[in-house]
């Protein structure tokens, strides 16, 4: 059973429907106490870094995530918050992966929205205006080209993250979610 | 791939040498620091700084070190620096004033002891080997002498030092505006799959950046064409993107059924929306838009169920628009599984709704649909399905909508909608120029060329059509092939 982390106003609808479509058992969890019973967690980020971090701190989610040992998947903002600091709202994040989250330059159309090619050759659906810059290049699992090579995915120990939306990215998205669910067994 | 602007400095001035000849110098009459600052403000992350005075005099000047320090202290630029580096002290001095990487040239072939010591002290990642090639021979000392080595012997030597990044300049192309020697880079890539290859020499425009990317280069150094203003840095950056032009079938729904008419009237039934969604998804649609044109409240309630069913049926994003009046409506649609919510008349009536949606649900989920009709030299905004004209200017409204928080604009030309006469590319281009968010072109798709024109002349990020898809005039893959032939990236 995979838990879909729901904090305050975060939109969990898309991820939940995708897991239903892929026949992956899942449950929306609203309290850190419910973590124990889950085999893994998906954290669909939505909204702004500042308010989300504040919410994670107030509800005790931040501590629970930092000490989590089972597979954890952060999507979009959910991946960005794994880093130390975000330029969006200039906020300190969870600090699990070393590095910063910086704003895309104004010279590009923002948000970076639509289907872009991953370094694997697959096309994935992106919607974001900020991008992760890991200190250790080895944590980057994939990149995409938008103005520059952007970090599109990370992995460090049990923490996984993708900047794109696997719940909306056609076949490659389905494959990512199914593979992640394999780890949660 | 990274585009790196290059600045060549001679006696404190920005210059370009033609073919490395100090007698053929163009002085660009600008200050190197100001130019570096300007590149940084245009979004450059790296800068390639060449010390021509150092190369000429074969020694490092304090004034150059001061310049490097000033740039690294006052900008975010990551500097790669070369020219006239002849000692371990030169390298230490440059790294100490903030240079990120050191470009070694001549010493690679004249002083292997120095190169070995430098790599030992500072690590191989700090170094880039500059290989200046003329007719397959490497030239040194500012291109004046031959090293006696062929390009491949040179690469072999560089690799034996442990350096894995090379900057290869084709001397015959440098400053000649004939385009880079793509064939050369392709061959090197093929023979050395893991080498970091930086292309340099003769790069003119976005097209050259694209071909270098395809040739397997990891970065490109661009000098003259940027300094002369022939091309803008942002243009070059956009060329190194694989972001696909999105093709979006639009499904008008009413009471849970798909309909599409001409000029929003004479509706014809075109089937069950979830079935249609699944079919379009299989045919390669990149996104879907559902426009709810229900008239009654009972009919409108069906849209939440539709969002849930579509989200479970397809694995691509979709937007729902039509009849949304409040943040709560929008929130329910997102919770049901929609990715974006589009508002139109309600935003015109109360623009604050856009701000509220952006703040509470996120900009990326907030789409503003604009129906526009040409009026003289400009366009006016229409509301209520095109039945009512407002006083608003479409371009001004687009700007306001984005300022308030719309993350995307769906721009429909009411003059063209349902006519098949092509998109209003002028309207699209004007709006695209006024705002910095993605634009969906809508209204007027009739031929495959219309889609190419919307991307080329209208600068549209995404293109929406209904009838041509519903009535099988052509398929989504026909559209993608046409775009691909016109060299636009599409998702296969």
Asked if residue B477 has pLDDT above 90, the reply is yes
pLDDT of residue B267: 40
pTM for the complete prediction?
Answer: 0.76
**Looking at residues A56-79, what average pLDDT do you find?**
95
B45 to chain A: which residues are within 8 Å by CB?
148
Give tens-digit pLDDT for B266-315.
Answer: 444 457 888 888 889 999 999 999 999 887 777 778 889 999 999 999 99
| Per-residue model confidence (pLDDT) at position B270 | 53
A125 touches B at CB < 8 Å: yes
Which of A76, A125, A137 has the most B C-beta neighbours within 10 Å, making it the best mutation to test the interface with B? A125
Cβ-based burial of B267 (10 A; exposed 0-12, middle 13-18, buried ≥19): middle
Instruction: Decide: helix, strand or coil at residue B88.
Output: helix
Note whether B360 contacts A127, CB cutoff 8 Å.
Answer: no
Given a cut of 60, is residue A84 above it in pLDDT?
Answer: yes
pLDDT single digits (tens) B364-375: 899 999 999 999
Residue B414 DSSP symbol: T
Q: Specify whether the CB–CB gap between B197 and B168 falls below 8 A.
A: yes
* Distance in Å, alpha carbon of B330 to nearest chain A alpha carbon: 11
Are residues B389 and B373 in contact, defined by beta-carbon separation less than 8 angstroms? yes
H helices present in B179-239, as ranges:
182-191, 206-215, 224-227, 233-239
Cβ distance of B237 and A108 shorter than 8 Å: yes
Interface of B with A in 310-339 (CB under 8 A): 311-313, 315-317, 331, 334-339
Establish, for the pair of chains A and B, how many residue pairs have beta carbons separated by less than 8 Å.
131
pLDDT of residue B432: 92
B240 has pLDDT over 90: no
Nearest Cα neighbor of B486 from B441, B452, B447, B461 is B452
Query: Which positions ≥6 away from A132 have C-beta within 8 Å?
Result: A79, A80, A83, A97, A99, A100, A101, A151, A154, A161, A163
Question: Quick check: B265 pLDDT over 50?
Answer: no
Q: How confident is the model at residue A10 (pLDDT cuts 50, 70, 90)?
A: low
Q: Which residue has the higher pLDDT, B103 or B489?
A: B103
CB of A127 closer than 8 Å to CB of A96: no
Tens of pLDDT along B148-201?
999 999 999 999 999 999 999 998 887 777 889 999 999 999 999 989 999 998
Indicate if the pLDDT at residue B239 is higher than 80: no
Contacts of B476 in chain A (CB under 8 A): none
| Contact between B241 and A174 using a beta-carbon 8 Å cutoff | no
Q: Which residues contact B196 (CB under 8 A, 6 or more apart)?
A: B164, B165, B166, B218, B219
* Burial (CB count within 10 angstroms: exposed 0-12, middle 13-18, buried 19+), residue B253: buried
User: Which of chain A's residues have a Cβ under 8 Å away from the Cβ of B234?
Assistant: 107-108
**What's the number of domains chain A is made of?**
1
Name the DSSP letter for residue B317.
-
β-strand partners of B343: B368
A148 CB neighbours in chain B (<8 A) are: 2, 45, 237, 240
Q: Is B266 one of the catalytic residues?
A: no
Fold category of B246-485 in CATH: TIM Barrel (3.20.20)
User: For residue A93, is pLDDT > 60?
Assistant: yes
Query: What percentage of chain A's residues is helix, strand, coil (to nearest 5)?
Result: 30, 35, 35
Q: Could you give the 3-state DSSP secondary structure of residue B280?
A: helix
- ipTM for the predicted complex comes to 0.84
**Residue B131: per-residue pLDDT:** 96
* Full domain range(s) for residue A93: 2-183
Residue where the block lists tokens 């192309």? B173
Q: Please state the φ and ψ torsions of residue B401, each to the nearest 5 degrees.
A: -60, -40
Q: Is B252 in the active site?
A: yes
Residue B292: which of B263, B259, B339, B247 has the closest Cα?
Answer: B259
pLDDT band at B129 (very low <50, low <70, confident <90, very high): very high
Beta strands in B127-183 (DSSP E): 127-134, 137-140, 145-150, 165-170
What pLDDT, on a 0 to 100 scale, did the predictor assign at position A9?
53
Residue from B41, B244, B306, B364 whose CB has the most chain A CBs within 10 Å, to mutate: B364
Phi first, then psi: give them for residue B281, nearest 5 degrees.
-60, -45
What is the per-residue pLDDT for B353?
96
> Is there a contact between B317 and A107 if contact means CB atoms under 8 Å apart?
no
Angle among Cα B387, B392, B396 to the nearest 5 degrees reads 135
pLDDT digits (tens, 9 = 90+) for B21-66: 888 888 888 899 999 999 998 889 899 999 999 988 888 999 999 9
Rounded CA Rg of chain A: 15
How many CB atoms within 10 Å of residue A37?
10
List the domain boundaries for chain B.
2-239, 246-485
Q: Which CATH class is domain B2-239?
A: alpha beta
State the pLDDT at residue A2: 96
The single-letter DSSP state of residue B245 is P
CATH number where A179 lies = 3.40.50.880
Tokens of B63: 């004034």
Please answer whether residues B100 and B77 qualify as being in contact, where contact means their C-beta atoms are separated by less than 8 angstroms: no
pLDDT for res B221: 95
For helices B448-456 and B425-434, give the axis angle rounded to 10 degrees. 30
Distance from CA of A43 to the nearest CA of B (A): 15
**Could you give the percent of chain B with pLDDT greater than 70?**
98
Residue of A nearest to B284 (CA): A170
Residue whose pair of structure tokens reads 């509220």 in the numeric block: B356
Summarised one tens digit per residue, pLDDT across range A17-67 is 999 999 999 999 999 999 989 999 999 977 788 989 999 999 999 999 999
pLDDT by residue (tens digit) across B407-429? 999 999 999 998 999 999 999 99
Dihedral in degrees, nearest 10, Cα atoms B197, B198, B199, B204: 140
User: Which residues partner with A128 through β-bridges?
Assistant: A112
Exposed (0-12), middle (13-18) or buried (19+): which is B120, by Cβ within 10 Å? exposed
Q: What value does the mean pLDDT take over residues B442-466?
A: 94
Confidence band for A8, pLDDT divided at 50, 70 and 90: low
Render the burial of A106-126: b for 16+ CB within 10 Å, e for the rest: ebbbbbbbbbbbbeeebbbbb
What average pLDDT is seen over chain B? 90
B408 touches chain A (CB under 8 A): yes
Strand partners for B109: none
Higher pLDDT, B258 or B215: B215
Is A167–B233 a contact, with Cβ atoms under 8 angstroms apart? no
pLDDT of residue B80: 97
Of residues A9, A116, A165, nearest to B244 (C-beta): A116
Question: Using one digit for the tens of pLDDT, what is the confidence trace for A129-177?
Answer: 999 999 988 889 899 999 888 999 999 989 999 999 999 999 999 999 9
Q: Are B203 and B220 in contact (CB under 8 A)?
A: yes
Taking residues A112-127, report their average pLDDT: 93
Distances (CA, A) of A31 to A60, A64, A70, A185, B100: 8, 10, 17, 22, 46
Classify residue B296 by burial, with Cβ atoms within 10 Å: 0-12, 13-18, 19+. Answer: exposed
């Amino acid at each position: 059973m995979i838990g879909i982390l729901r904090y305050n106003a975060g939109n969990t609808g898309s991820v939940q429907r995708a897991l239903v479509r892929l026949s992956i058992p899942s449950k929306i969890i609203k309290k850190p106490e419910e973590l124990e019973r889950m085999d893994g967690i998906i954290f669909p980020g939505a909204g702004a870094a500042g308010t989300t971090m504040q919410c994670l701190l107030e509800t005790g989610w931040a501590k629970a995530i930092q000490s989590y040992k089972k597979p954890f998947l952060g999507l979009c903002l959910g991946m960005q918050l794994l880093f130390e600091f975000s330029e969006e709202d200039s906020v300190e994040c969870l600090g699990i992966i070393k590095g910063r989250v910086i704003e895309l330059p104004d010279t590009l159309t923002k948000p970076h929205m639509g289907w872009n090619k991953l370094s694997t050759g697959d096309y994935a659906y992106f919607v974001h205006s900020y991008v992760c810059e890991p200190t250790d290049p080895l944590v980057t699992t994939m990149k995409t080209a938008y103005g520059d090579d952007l970090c599109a995915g990370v992995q460090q120990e049990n923490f996984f993250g993708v900047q794109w939306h696997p719940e909306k990215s056609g076949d490659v998205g389905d494959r990512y979610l199914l593979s992640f669910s394999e780890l949660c067994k | 791939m990274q585009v790196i602007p290059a600045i060549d400095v001679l006696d404190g001035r920005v210059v370009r040498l033609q073919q490395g000849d100090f007698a053929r110098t163009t002085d660009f009459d600008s200050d190197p620091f100001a130019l570096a600052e300007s590149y940084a403000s245009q979004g450059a992350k790296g800068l390639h700084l060449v010390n021509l005075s150092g190369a000429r005099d074969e020694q490092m000047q304090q004034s150059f070190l001061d310049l490097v320090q000033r740039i690294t202290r006052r900008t975010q630029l990551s500097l790669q620096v070369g020219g006239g580096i002849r000692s371990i002290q030169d390298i230490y001095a440059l790294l100490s004033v903030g240079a990120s990487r050191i470009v070694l040239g001549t010493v690679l072939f004249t002083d292997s002891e120095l190169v070995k010591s430098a790599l030992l002290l500072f690590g191989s990642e700090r170094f880039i080997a500059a290989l200046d090639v003329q007719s397959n021979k490497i030239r040194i000392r500012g291109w004046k002498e031959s090293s006696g080595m062929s390009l491949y012997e040179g690469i072999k030597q560089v690799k034996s030092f442990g350096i894995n990044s090379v900057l290869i300049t084709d001397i015959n192309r440098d400053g000649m505006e004939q385009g880079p020697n793509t064939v050369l880079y392709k061959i090197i890539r093929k023979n050395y799959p893991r080498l970091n290859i930086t292309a340099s020499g003769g790069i003119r425009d976005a097209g050259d950046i694209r071909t270098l990317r395809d040739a397997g280069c990891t970065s490109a150094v661009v000098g003259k064409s940027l300094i002369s203003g022939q091309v803008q840095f942002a243009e070059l950056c956009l060329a190194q993107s694989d972001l696909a032009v999105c093709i979006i079938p639009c499904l008008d729904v009413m009471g849970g059924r798909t309909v599409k008419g001409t000029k929003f009237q004479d509706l014809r039934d075109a089937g069950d929306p979830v079935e249609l969604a699944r079919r379009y998804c299989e045919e390669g649609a990149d996104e879907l838009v559902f426009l709810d044109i229900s008239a009654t409240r009972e009919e409108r309630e069906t849209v939440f169920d539709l969002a849930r069913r579509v989200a479970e049926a397809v694995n691509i994003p979709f937007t729902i628009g039509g009849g949304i009046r409040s943040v709560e409506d929008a929130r329910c649609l997102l919770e049901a599984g929609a990715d974006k919510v589009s508002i139109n008349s309600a935003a015109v009536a109360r623009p604050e709704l856009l701000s509220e949606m952006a703040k509470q649900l996120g900009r990326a989920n907030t789409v503003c649909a604009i129906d526009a009709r040409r009026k003289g030299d400009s366009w006016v905004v229409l509301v209520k399905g095109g039945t009512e004209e407002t006083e608003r200017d479409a371009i001004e409204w687009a700007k306001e909508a984005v300022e308030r928080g719309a993350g995307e604009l769906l721009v429909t030309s009411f003059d063209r909608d349902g006519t098949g006469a092509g998109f209003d590319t002028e309207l699209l281009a004007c709006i695209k120029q006024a705002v910095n968010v993605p634009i969906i072109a809508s209204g007027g798709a009739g031929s495959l060329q219309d889609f190419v024109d919307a991307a080329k002349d209208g600068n549209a990020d995404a293109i929406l059509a209904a009838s041509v898809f519903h009535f099988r005039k052509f398929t989504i893959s026909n559209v993608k092939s046409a775009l691909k032939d016109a060299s636009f990236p599409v998702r296969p």
